[in-house]
Structure 1
Amino acid sequence: MDSLGCLYILLSAHLCFCTPVPSFLSVEKAVQFLGRTRRAYNAFEELKKGNLERECVEELCNLEESREYFENDPETNYFYPRYLNCLTQYSGPSPATLNFHAGWRDCVNDIPNQCVPSPCHPVGTENCIDLSADYRCLCKNGWRGKNCATDINECEEGKASCDHVCINTDGSFHCRCNVGYHTELDLRSCTDDDECLRDPTLCGPNIVCENHPGYYTCRCPFGYSYNKIEQTCTDVDECRDLMPCEEICINTIGGYQCLCDGRAGHILSSDLKTCKPVMECINLELETLSTHLYIGPDAETNPVFLLTVKVPPNTSEVLAFDLRTFDPEGLVLFAERVRNTHSREDQRSEDDWLALSIKYGRLQLQASGPTGGGFIRGGPIVNDGFWTTIQLERTQKMIKVYVAQQRVLTLKLKNKPGVEAVKVYVGGLPPSAVIKDQMNPRLDACLRQWSWMGKEEPSSPLPPPGLGRLPCLQYVEPGTYFPGGHLAAFRLPNMNAPHHINPAWVIEIKMEFRAASETGVLLSVVNYNRDVLFSLALSNTVNNVLKTPLQSVTLSMGSNTILQSIPIETGPWDGAPAFCDDLWHRVYLHLSNHGVYLLVDGINATTPPRSVLSPAQAVPNTMSTAQLQLNTSATETDPITRGLVQLGAWLNETLSAYFGGIPNYVNLLDTPVSTFFHGCLREVSVNERLLNFDDSIGLAEGIRSHSCPMVEDYGE
């Protein structure tokens, strides 16, 4: 049977290929050729399942024969067109040569394999599995889809679990940390980089490096900013950049300071930035009566008013009034007689006048006339602050003075007839008058119930025009009243010991004050260069916790506060500073080339730690210069030492002492307190010399040299 089969095949092959054929068959002829009747090898061959190698590689098969192998239409329909393509590609001069083509067998055998060529994405596929007329792509992690061609975005689907930034990639993802962090071994977690620990010199020398999550900062002290290029700390000009102050801003090294114009009545608020008006903390008795006349003169000692009175023939000249004063010295009135002559020169040549004044608290009478002159002082004390009735009578033979209807002074002086009128100058001298006894004509006094030769109303005010009459305070006590905004100036003479290599000098200042406002300059000493050598002031601060006012007496040298009394927190009523208590407070200041000492109400105020005095050396009420020794370790950089050295150098010159504030020509920045003092001073002395404010070189109008208004509730 086998031999016959082989013969059958050989004969068939000979019959088929014995005639010449073209080198390549067309597809149509190939189909016809392949569509021939299939020949069985043996009786059972047709009953066997087809074999692709035998049916279509070793032989040429047609569509039906390929279906026999696949036994289904989808695979057959997929296979056969591709089979024809292989036939076209690999057929030689004769179909018999197909078996000898190396690529023919592979081309046909690969057609049924759905994974050759692989339909799966080359990157996203792990493996391709051939199925019946189908395939399956096994995707790698991060891919999906029929052909594993779709990338899974793990970042959007929340599968990445990155701490900071997730970056999607083809088939995967990447976690990235923010600047200042590094990635941990799990490639997802981020940990802060401690740059300061890694490089302690990162910010530069002596500059603090502070690590923060993800970054670091270079911290400079308050008021400084960091310069990254130079790695240094530079001062911030807050005044220029922030403009934090309402009025005056002073840039300082590492900060700034806000100031207010104290001379305008402003002080710094508790926020240390805005300004507020100075608080008047005591109400004073400023009530006046129209029937009372204040005769205190102005700075030039001009009279308050001039009254010209006609004198009838053979009539005594009588001047009567009530006087109240605490002033120990000053001119009450000056009366000049005018005679019946033809020329003003003849009138003046007679030299006929009288002057009633107070000296050492008693009445004093001077007179001059055609027949001579005289001088007398006596009677009771009249500067006790009580109303005193005074009458002055001039007859043809004498001048008599009465106090409370009792004659106290008599000056015999014959008068010549021909008096036409009397000019009465009250509270000052006329410009041409010259009196015999040298005295300060300024008098702080009040008049009432006056009668000038029968007239009861003063008239004809002297220059300056419009000065008129000033009111007289009804309730007063001894003291010098500063209403605020006004100064009284004195000259301090040379206080250095002459011809001494290291001259010793001492300035002792004593005073009592009663404040009507919360702050103000009691005294400032200024040189001709307009430098404030030292100042004594009532200063106020605020308790940072309770926000209540604190008051103290401070001593400053230039712009540095060097001594401060113990701050007192509460006054007699809520919200009032401590010194606003209706009471008089004592201040004692000692300055010398040995040191400085300050007492307020008998309590040592030498409190700063760098003070030149040891607190153990402080004596509450008495002190000797031996106790005052400069700290030998102090240098001229110490503000006290520097201030004392500067003050001692200027004592070779005449200095100006201003009570009640600082002069307008002084820079506001040269002293910590610039507010005018509102209140009263008394018992003011410099080096044991009791000051009379009538003697000041510039007594501003409004300052009452010897009368201080009482507190409003006085007498209740």
Structure 2
Amino acid sequence: GFSLVWCMVVFSPFLVSLSPEEANQFLSRQRRANQVFEETKQGHLERECVEERCTKEEAREVFENDPETDYFYPKYVACVDKFGDSEKKKQDLVTCVHNIPDQCSPSPCNDRGTVRCEDKKGDFLCHCFTGWTGARCDKDVDECSKRNGGCDHECNNTIGSYRCSCHQGYMLVGRQMCNDVDECEDTSVCGTARCENNDGSYDCLCDIGFVYDNETKTCVDVDECVSGVCAEECLNTPGSFRCFCDGRQGKKLGQDLRSCKPITPCLSPSLKRNSRSLYLGRMFSAVPVVRLRFRRRIQTGFSAEFDFRTWDPEGVIFFAGGHLNSSWIVLAMHHGRLELQLKYGTVSRVTSSGPIVSDGQWRKISVEEQGRSLVIKIDREAVMKIAVNGDLFTLKKGMHELNLTVGGLVCFREHGPYVLRLCLSTVVFEWRWLTGEDTSIQETIRSNDNMQCFGTENPGAYFPGTGFALFNISCGTNLSVQLNLRPTSAIGVLFALVYQDRVPLSIALADYHPGTDEWRDFVLVSTGDAIIASSPAPLCDGESHEIQVVISGNQTMLLVDGQPGRSEDAEVPTALLTQSSTFIGGLPDDVSLVSSLVSAPYSGCMEVSVNGQSLDLDQAIHKHNDIRSHSCPLLDSHQ
């Protein structure tokens, strides 16, 4: 016999979900545990219901429970009815009866989602793989619906499973974790730009003033000038820009480095004029500043008397006489002394005598025909007495005529090669051309300040802040420039070499240093817009200062009052120095603003030496008429 085992049976399909690994382990354990019991039950069934026909009660004794018995017995009766007691069909009956208790034959479970089908007492249990559910393991489990399946980023449900994926810029670690990808480990990802990794991505960064080009993987310069950032001229530079204001129009750069503001002088020179004086240096072209014609009915000897002072050793004071073939005289300065050039009839002569008079001291000069002699006096002492044969007045159509030009020549320049720049000044009653027959010109001078001399002066050239002086100097690759100056403005071009529209060298005063971004007074030595030497220089104090610049090859030395400045690592275009024109005190209008850091003309007194040679502005190729070559007004504080 066998013992009865009581157990509780659930009359519905069972559901167990296992992973494939768990399912294999479970199957192994279950088979070992049920093997003996199943073999015992099959033995009872064979003996009770196959070898003999059994009743329902006898079947109950085999299964020991009602659910299995109730399931088995109707099917058992159907097998007996079908195959009967025929010995021939006995094996079919055996097979039919043996298959009745097995609820898993055939398996009612979904093959894809089932680990195994477990036969229960009148029922079956489908053991599901992980990811499947339902009584027959035929329903997919959506793992993503609960806590996103445990995925860091995206959960993608699949049939019977799921898959985690990461956003762009991340990589999957394990099944669920997403870690940032450091794209910058690939040195080519940003090309020439700077790569900066960030969470899930990266940035290709450029310096300020540049923008990244995705196609070329390079940093491309931004042309800020196209957006009108500057009030006047704009120069785009790599990564930045630079604004320029027209100093020739009296403007300078504002502290925002974009706007323009007026240049204001730091000192005021004493520009008061002497209305009883005549300035002979006003017309640089040597055109006379005064032209007079005297006509007499009777023969008269020539006489002239005037007070004058000058620092100029060369030039014409006046011409008196007739036409080329008649008699004439030219009183001039040569080597600092009075010189007389004359032609009476067929006799020509040049005579120089007397003391040095180009020392800025006032002197009274007189020239007079006395009989057959021409007498020249300095401070009423005769320094020249020349015998002549003839008269300066020329008889023409019954009238005795004489032409007088002051400060230059008209028709006789070949006989007077010197050009004088001086002041001719006197009290009215002491200034007498032909015993005072010049009252009209005196009135003209009184009404025109430009024809008058400054009331108080010192030696030196005066630059009023307009124009320039132009020289053609062969500098070579080695250059030495010495400047002695008393500026009245902290901004201005002192010395410049210009080649076409370029400025290979400039020495200038400025109130801003673009290299150090400092706002104070500087001396800047530059080539184009690049600084090659600089020094802080508060020179607007009314005193005289010395600036020395020496260029030797690619080396630049700057001295301000003997103190060395700072030299920069910038190459000097020495090849252009030999081809350049020399400008003193300013730049020409056809040079663009962006060609030099400073464009404003210099204002103040200055003396210039180049390679050891002092420059006489009277010898310039061109000089603005307002620039005075040898006389500079005193400052108001020095009056």
Q: TM-score range by the shorter chain?
A: 0.5 to 0.7
Q: CA deviation at 1:335?
A: 0.6
Please name the residue that 1:424 is paired with: 404
Please name the residue that 1:382 is paired with: 357
Matched residues in 2 for 1:201 and 1:371: separation? 95
Matched residues in 2 for 1:289 and 1:254: separation? 56
Q: CA deviation at 1:468?
A: 9.7
Q: CA deviation at 1:281?
A: 0.9
Which of 301, 306, 330 is 2:315 aligned to? 330
Change (3 A) 1:703 1:548: same
Matched residues in 2 for 1:451 and 1:460: separation? 11
Change (3 A) 1:298 1:440: same
Change (3 A) 1:711 1:266: same
Tell whether 2:291 aligns with 1:306: yes
Which of 404, 408, 415 is 2:390 aligned to? 415
Is this contact kept in 2: 1:373–1:413, CA < 8 A?
A: no
Tell whether 2:634 aligns with 1:710: yes
Which of 506, 515, 533 is 1:563 aligned to? 533
Q: CA deviation at 1:226?
A: 2.6
Is this contact kept in 2: 1:375–1:411, CA < 8 A?
A: no
Is this contact kept in 1: 2:460–2:631, CA < 8 A?
A: yes
User: For residue 552 of structure 1, what is the amino acid of its counterpart?
Assistant: F
Q: CA deviation at 1:698?
A: 0.7
Please name the residue that 1:624 is paired with: none
Q: CA deviation at 1:391?
A: 1.4
5 Å matches for 1:181-196?
none
Tell whether 2:218 aligns with 1:243: no
Q: CA deviation at 1:477?
A: 0.8
5 Å matches for 1:340-489?
348=323, 350-370=325-345, 372-416=347-391, 420-435=400-415, 439-449=417-427, 450-455=431-436, 457=438, 459=440, 470-489=451-470
Is this contact kept in 2: 1:538–1:553, CA < 8 A?
A: yes
Q: Deviations 1:87-140 (Å, cap 9, x if unpaired)?
A: xxxxxxxxxxxxxxxxxxxxxxxxxxxxxxxxxxxxxxxxxxxxxxxxxxxxxx
Please name the residue that 1:524 is paired with: 496
Please name the residue that 2:584 is paired with: 659
Please name the residue that 1:639 is paired with: 571
5 Å matches for 1:147-186?
none
User: For residue 473 of structure 2, what is the amino acid of its counterpart?
Assistant: L
Change (3 A) 1:206 1:192: farther
Change (3 A) 1:456 1:326: farther
Please name the residue that 1:587 is paired with: 547
User: Aligned to 2:453, what secondary structure does the other structure show?
Assistant: coil
User: Aligned to 1:392, what secondary structure does the other structure show?
Assistant: strand
Q: CA deviation at 1:302?
A: 0.4
Q: CA deviation at 1:607?
A: 2.6
Please name the residue that 2:145 is paired with: none
Change (3 A) 1:279 1:178: farther
Q: CA deviation at 1:247?
A: 0.9
Matched residues in 2 for 1:707 and 1:276: separation? 31
User: For residue 384 of structure 1, what is the amino acid of its counterpart?
Assistant: D
Please name the residue that 2:615 is paired with: 691
Change (3 A) 1:534 1:406: same
Q: CA deviation at 1:458?
A: 5.7
Q: CA deviation at 1:594?
A: 7.1
Is this contact kept in 1: 2:311–2:359, CA < 8 A?
A: yes
Matched residues in 2 for 1:198 and 1:304: separation? 79
Aligned residue-pair number? 465
User: For residue 657 of structure 1, what is the amino acid of its counterpart?
Assistant: T
Q: CA deviation at 1:314?
A: 5.6
Provide structure 1 residue ranges, at least 5 long, that are not aligned to the other structure.
1-176, 338-347, 497-504, 569-577, 611-637
Please name the residue that 2:480 is paired with: 508
Q: Deviations 1:218-263 (Å, cap 9, x if unpaired)?
A: 42211112334554422222222x4221111222221111122222
User: Aligned to 2:454, what secondary structure does the other structure show?
Assistant: coil
Matched residues in 1 for 2:547 and 2:488: separation? 17
Please name the residue that 1:279 is paired with: 264
User: Aligned to 2:618, what secondary structure does the other structure show?
Assistant: helix
Q: Deviations 1:162-191 (Å, cap 9, x if unpaired)?
A: xxxxxxxxxxxxxxx999999xxxx9xxx9
Q: Deviations 1:136-158 (Å, cap 9, x if unpaired)?
A: xxxxxxxxxxxxxxxxxxxxxxx
Change (3 A) 1:179 1:591: closer
Q: CA deviation at 1:554?
A: 2.0
Q: CA deviation at 1:351?
A: 2.3
Please name the residue that 1:553 is paired with: 523
Matched residues in 2 for 1:304 and 1:315: separation? 25
Please name the residue that 1:255 is paired with: 240
Change (3 A) 1:275 1:372: same
Q: Deviations 1:181-206 (Å, cap 9, x if unpaired)?
A: 99xxxx9xxx9986658977696245
Is this contact kept in 1: 2:466–2:626, CA < 8 A?
A: no
User: Aligned to 1:541, what secondary structure does the other structure show?
Assistant: coil
Tell whether 2:514 aligns with 1:539: no
Is this contact kept in 1: 2:310–2:361, CA < 8 A?
A: yes
Matched residues in 1 for 2:453 and 2:623: separation? 18
Please name the residue that 1:222 is paired with: 208
Please name the residue that 1:156 is paired with: none
Q: CA deviation at 1:539?
A: 2.3
User: For residue 264 of structure 1, what is the amino acid of its counterpart?
Assistant: Q
* Superposition TM-score, scaled by structure 2 size: 0.65
User: Aligned to 1:550, what secondary structure does the other structure show?
Assistant: coil
Matched residues in 1 for 2:367 and 2:544: separation? 38
Q: Deviations 1:47-93 (Å, cap 9, x if unpaired)?
A: xxxxxxxxxxxxxxxxxxxxxxxxxxxxxxxxxxxxxxxxxxxxxxx
Matched residues in 1 for 2:598 and 2:327: separation? 53
User: For residue 494 of structure 2, what is the amino acid of its counterpart?
Assistant: L
Q: CA deviation at 1:582?
A: 0.8
Q: CA deviation at 1:432?
A: 4.1
Please name the residue that 2:44 is paired with: none
Matched residues in 1 for 2:412 and 2:377: separation? 28
Which of 616, 621, 625 is 1:701 aligned to? 625
Is this contact kept in 1: 2:277–2:423, CA < 8 A?
A: no
Change (3 A) 1:468 1:551: closer
User: For residue 284 of structure 2, what is the amino acid of its counterpart?
Assistant: A
User: Aligned to 1:676, what secondary structure does the other structure show?
Assistant: coil
Structure with a larger share of its residues in strand:
2
Tell whether 2:275 aligns with 1:290: yes
How much identity, in percent, do the aligned residues show? 31
Matched residues in 2 for 1:592 and 1:489: separation? 23
User: Aligned to 1:263, what secondary structure does the other structure show?
Assistant: helix
Matched residues in 2 for 1:192 and 1:313: separation? 122
5 Å matches for 1:89-100?
none
Please name the residue that 1:669 is paired with: 594
User: Aligned to 2:594, what secondary structure does the other structure show?
Assistant: helix
Provide structure 2 residue ranges, at least 5 long, that are not aligned to the other structure.
1-165
Change (3 A) 1:458 1:559: farther
Is this contact kept in 1: 2:507–2:526, CA < 8 A?
A: yes
User: Aligned to 2:636, what secondary structure does the other structure show?
Assistant: coil
Matched residues in 2 for 1:231 and 1:375: separation? 81
Matched residues in 2 for 1:543 and 1:594: separation? 22
Q: CA deviation at 1:455?
A: 2.2
